[in-house]
Each structure stands twice: as structure tokens, then as C-alpha cells.
Amino acid sequence: MEIELGWPEDADERLRHEVHDVLHAVVAAGGAIGWQRPPGRPDTDAWLDRLLPRVRKGDAALVVARVDGVVRATATWQRDPAQVFENCAELGKVTTHPSTRGLGLGRVVVAAAVDHARTAGLEVVYLGVRGNNLGAIELYESLGFREWGRLPNSIAVGDTRFDSVRMHLPLGYAPHVVLHGSTPGGLGSSPSRRTP
């Protein structure tokens, strides 16, 4: 079995078909990647058509893992469009076709996407994962991600609600960057209204 990574910037018919097959199968198996029902080909084509111009511009990346020449896993990062967050990117569409689970493809594409984001000069990557997807959470934690928040029962799948777990991974900062964090003072600061 041969596994190879690809970084497409354009999508021919074969790539569109194979990406659709993965995304459709993942949602059909209960995966939470943005669709409540398995997406049709027009849905996945539209997603690619929104993503790939951002890839060509350097504001996103799509990594695909091919098993014996066929796409069987995906992951993306997309730079946050808000200017004050342009140093950050969201990791998304982390998928592995159900027929190839257990090969470690999720780890391969997530690690590749994180390395690519670091090379692109990003400082932080973040993601959302459904609260009951414990295997994915453990995978992300093993790669250094940490939970920074949880929006309880906010993901709607029909009449069922799931927590949205938010995780982040710092990728590093240039030496001149000042990490102010939540220290009082500086731009946008306001005094505390609490009485001592």
C-alpha cells in the first residue's frame, strides 16, 4: 500500500470525483464536517470552487492523501479573513474515507496541514470538533492542540445537539512579536469595573 500527499491548487474531474467520494462517505458515516446530510456532487464542487482560489492566493491549503493513487483523506487550513486575525488559520475538512480508517491518514493530513501553515508564516491554527468525537480530540491533543473553549449543545444534527469543542495550536512567533495576552493596558484596553 502506497500513501502519498498532494497539494492541489486546481481540481480536474478526477480530483472532484474522489474528493466528493470521501466527503460524502464521511458524512454518510456520521462525520461532522459541515453538512447534516451527505453532500451531493454540486455541494462538494461548490466547496472546492470557494476554496481553491484562496489556495492559489496563499490564504489556504488543501492536502489530500492518496492510497494507491486514490484520494482517501483530506484536510485544509484557511487564513482568517479578519485583518487582526490574519496570522491565524482554521483547520477544517479533516476526513478519512471509512474504508481506510485505521491507516493513520488523519494524523498524516493534520500534521501535513499544520507544517504547511507554519511554513506559510501563520502563528496559530485552530479547529472545531464535535464533543463526542473523542478519537479526533485525542488525535489533535497528541499533535499538540489544546482545548480553549466549548460551546455546549450548539451543533445541530436533526433534533440532536452536540458540544462544539474549540482547540488551538501555537505554531511560533517571530522574535519581534510582543505577546501582550490579557495584560491590562495597551491598545483597546479598558479599566476593570470591579471594586476591590
Instruction: Give how many domains the chain has, as a whole number.
Output: 1
Q: Would 190 be classed as within a structural domain?
A: no
29: domain range?
A: 3-170
- From the list 31, 25, 119, 101, the residue with the least C-alpha distance to 65 is 101
Task: Quote the CA–CA distance of 154 and 133 in Å, as a whole number.
Answer: 14
pLDDT score recorded for residue 184 = 85
Domain-embedded: residue 194: no
CATH number of residue 61's parent domain: 3.40.630.30
In a domain, 183, yes or no: no
* Residue 193 in domain: no
- Alpha-carbon gap, residue 27 to 46, rounded angstroms: 16
The whole-model pTM stands at: 0.92
Residue 27: the pLDDT is 95
The C-alpha cell that represents 43 in the structure block: 455541494
Task: Identify residue 130 by its one-letter amino acid code.
Answer: R
pLDDT for 19? 98
- Show pLDDT as tens, one digit a residue, over the chain (196 residues): 899 999 999 999 999 999 999 999 999 998 889 898 999 999 999 999 999 999 999 999 999 999 999 999 999 999 999 898 999 999 999 999 999 999 999 999 999 999 999 999 999 999 999 999 999 999 999 999 999 999 999 988 889 999 999 999 999 999 999 998 888 888 888 888 887 6
At 133 the pLDDT is 93
Question: Going by DSSP bridges, is the β-strand pair 88-96/60-67 parallel, antiparallel, or unpaired?
Answer: unpaired
Cα first-last separation, the chain: 65
